[in-house]
């Protein structure tokens, strides 16, 4: 089905882009291990472990202290996941993607520019006011939700090599904060978490809970 769509005689019935096709391939049964090899290159092979478990992902914003984050998220000393969860994405055009395991809909391009943490929340409120993509439940992802969609580091490549996000997406705000002055961000290219002053600058890719 994927191959036939990619070579359809009517150009309008083919995939809109290589990213869309890549996302469709990512969702095929049994494709996770082969896709992961492309991201891992010749790096540490211990990072090739993929976890099938997901459990219930926290959706409410919370304070997560620096001393607790590695234990809570199963991170190594570089604040990267020690394993990666299996994902099953379904493309919904170039602007959004649906992750079937969690039921979450993800923005793929986000704002296209950086915002501080307060502005990030205002941007999400605007998405809901506009009922963007027909939804009014958009919000910033929690740390756990981001962890569930991370891939092994892209080894200095652009995030466009990964079908979920466009190549302008790098640092993204989470909904969680560390203290009064700092919130948590995630580097989706190098696949690690860090703290950033709330008046700092990062991009936004909102998510929407199950319909």
What is the DSSP-derived secondary structure letter of residue 201?
A: -
The CA distance from 5 to 72, in Å, is 42
Instruction: Tell me what pLDDT residue 111 has.
Output: 85
Q: How far apart are the first and last CA of the chain?
A: 26
H or E segment to which residue 66 belongs? helix 66-73
Q: What separation in angstroms does the CA of 100 have from each of 28, 136, 160, 187?
A: 12, 19, 21, 23
The CA distance from 164 to 48, in Å, is 19
Burial 192-209 (b: 16+ CB within 10 A, else e): bbebbebebbbbbbbbbe
Instruction: Tell me what pLDDT residue 62 has.
Output: 97
Instruction: Tell me what pLDDT residue 159 has.
Output: 53
Instruction: Tell me what pLDDT residue 175 has.
Output: 98
Is the whole model's pTM more than 0.85, yes or no? Answer: no
Instruction: Tell me what pLDDT residue 29 has.
Output: 59
Q: What separation in angstroms does the CA of 80 have from each of 68, 75, 112, 207?
A: 14, 5, 25, 21
Instruction: Tell me what pLDDT residue 142 has.
Output: 97
Instruction: Tell me what pLDDT residue 76 has.
Output: 95
For the chain, which ranges sit under pLDDT 70? Answer: 19-20, 22-24, 26-55, 154-163, 210-211
What is the DSSP-derived secondary structure letter of residue 116?
A: -
- Strand, helix or coil at 33? helix
Instruction: Tell me what pLDDT residue 201 has.
Output: 97
């Amino acid at each position: 089905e994927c191959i036939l769509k990619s070579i359809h005689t009517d150009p309008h019935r083919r995939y809109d882009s290589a990213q869309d096709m890549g996302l469709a391939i990512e969702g095929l049964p049994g494709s996770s291990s082969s896709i992961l090899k492309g991201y891992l290159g010749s790096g540490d092979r211990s990072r090739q472990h993929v976890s099938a478990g997901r459990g219930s992902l926290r959706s409410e914003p919370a304070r997560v202290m620096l001393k607790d984050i590695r234990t809570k998220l199963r991170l190594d000393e570089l604040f990267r996941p020690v394993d990666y969860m299996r994902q099953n994405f379904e493309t919904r055009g170039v602007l959004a993607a649906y992750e079937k395991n969690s039921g979450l809909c993800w923005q793929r391009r986000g704002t296209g520019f950086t915002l501080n943490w307060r502005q990030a929340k205002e941007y999400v409120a605007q998405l809901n006011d506009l009922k963007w993509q027909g939804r009014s439940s958009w919000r910033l992802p929690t740390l756990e939700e981001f962890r569930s969609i991370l891939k092994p580091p892209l080894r200095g490549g652009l995030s466009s090599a990964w079908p979920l996000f466009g190549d302008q997406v790098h640092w993204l705000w989470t909904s969680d904060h560390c203290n009064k002055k700092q919130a948590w961000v995630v580097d989706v290219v190098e696949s690690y978490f860090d703290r950033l002053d709330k008046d700092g600058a990062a991009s936004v890719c909102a998510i929407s809970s199950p319909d």
